[in-house]
Structure formats: C-alpha cells, structure tokens
Amino acid sequence: MNPTMPMSEGTLTVACIQNCAVKDTESGLTEATALAREARNSGAELICFPEFCHQLFIDGDTFETGAAPQDSHPALLRMQDLARELNVWLLVGSLAIRGDSGKDHNRSFLIDSHGTIIAHYDKIHMFDVTLGNGETYRESARFEPGKKAVVADMPWGGIGLTVCYDLRFASLYRSLAQHGASMITVPAAFTHTTGKAHWHVLLRSRAIETGSYIIAPCQYGTHGKARTYGHSLIVDPWGEIIAEAGEQAATIAATLDLSRVADARQRIPSLEHDRPFSF
C-alpha cells in the first residue's frame, strides 16, 4: 500500500455523464456540459465524463477525436471553466492530446473545483481488435500508449485512473488498489458488440477483485460507423451495481460510503495475499 495516501473516509456523491459525441465538437460538449449542470444541481461532488466525451467519429480508417495540444485544447479549457463555474471536481474521461512522436495520447484528466488539473493519465492498453462483421479497430495506429499508472489524491481518498480497454487487464486494477486507490474510474466508449457481452461482468469483477468503487461513464449511440453501448455503471466494493444508465443520454449518481472499502477489504483481504510463483 502507498503509505502517503490518506485513508478514504466520509461520503462522496458521484455522477456519471452519458453522452453521444459525434463529429461536431460543439454538439458533444453542449450535451455533456448540460448533463453535468443537471448532475451538479442534484448534489454531485465529482462528475465523470466518458472517453472522448467531446468528439468521436469513426469511419474505416477515419478516426476523429479533436486532437489538440494540452495547453490550448479547447475542450480541456472548457472543462476547467466548468469546474470553476460549478465548484465541482471533474473527471474528463479522455481527450486526444497531441504528442511529440507524431501520435496522440488518449489522456484522462482529474480537475479540482478550482479548475486545476490535479492529475492526468495516458491510456496504457490500445484497442487493436477485429470483432468480425467488418468491425475492426486499430487504436495504436493513432495513439501512443501510456507507460505509467496513476493514483491521485482527493479529499475523500485515492482515485485510480484508467480508460476503456484497460478494463480487460486486471493486474492494472489490482496495482491501483494496492497503491492507495479506493475508487477507480473507467471512462469508456465501449463498443456495443463487446459491451453486451462483457461490460457488466468485467466492471463487477474489477470491483470485487480490488474492493474498490468502480465509476464507469460510457458513451452511447452511433459515431459514424461505430456504435457504443451506454449502460454507464457505478459499482460498490462488494461488486453490486448501485447505479446504471440505459442506452440514451443520461446522468446517474450514487453516494459512496467510503468506509465500505475498508470493510470489503477486511472481509476478503486478497490484496494482501499475493504470493510469488513460477512456471
């Protein structure tokens, strides 16, 4: 465990925004920020957006996500202004950030209520898959994979940052929990094909394995030739779903009792039971 990370305590009201980003950046941002204002009016203290929440359009080799440098990214600046306006913490699921290698970064941002970027995380695992029926994705052709896991300190405790396809790599989540995360975010644009099969079981599994709250805002709808699943979820440390959206624009919210993290980890202390092994 990370000895510098404070123990999780108290309660935190979290909201997930479920929007449908398209080719037009303004359309995506308008829908997402309107939903965020609704969530804040309902008492949310942390509002979480999906992956590529401001722009997403896929058509064969065309993959439009509105990439820009971090210091001048219009969507990031808007989100910082929104955090200050609403006096709320924001998890910007991800934005495409220009990199130095010729590729972009799929980058998630944690922003405090003053509009300050507290932490950012570059998606480690690239979605390079062939699902059949002509549905093929090659994220690594456009994006540089991240190399560093991130646990950020919030007033309520540690929060681990992940993005979408990371969900399938259980060791990352275990490591985040062992380094102080009591909450883990999974902003996503999960495909409808894989979402129907795997979304719920994977998110519940990650919660159970780590004894953490899992916060998973997901896009819905069509984005060119791609279709995303929706069903944004909040899952408690025992693996129970405590909030879920459908397949339309929505906000979902739940009040997290962070003492339940310690309780779950005491009941099943598997994070302390790793043992070396060989083949």
Strand partners, 121: 108
SS3 of residue 16 by DSSP: strand
148 counts as catalytic: no
Give the Cα separation of 231 and 247 in Å (integer): 6
What residue type is assigned to position 51 of the chain?
Answer: E
What residue type is assigned to position 68 of the chain?
Answer: A
**Quick count: other Cβ atoms within 10 Å of Cβ 27?**
15
Return the closest-CA partner of residue 212 out of 135, 267, 159.
159
Q: Does residue 217 contact residue 195 with C-beta atoms inside 8 Å? A: no
> Catalytic pick from 51, 64, 144, 218?
51
Residues recorded for the chain: 279
51 counts as catalytic: yes
> Catalytic pick from 16, 20, 64, 123?
123
Return the closest-CA partner of residue 135 out of 69, 206, 224.
224
Q: Which residues of 54-80 are buried (b: 16+ CB within 10 A; e: fewer)?
A: bbbbbeeeebbbbbbeeeebebbebbb
Q: Does residue 135 contact residue 160 with C-beta atoms inside 8 Å? A: no
> Catalytic pick from 16, 20, 48, 164?
164
Residues serving a catalytic function are: 51, 123, 164
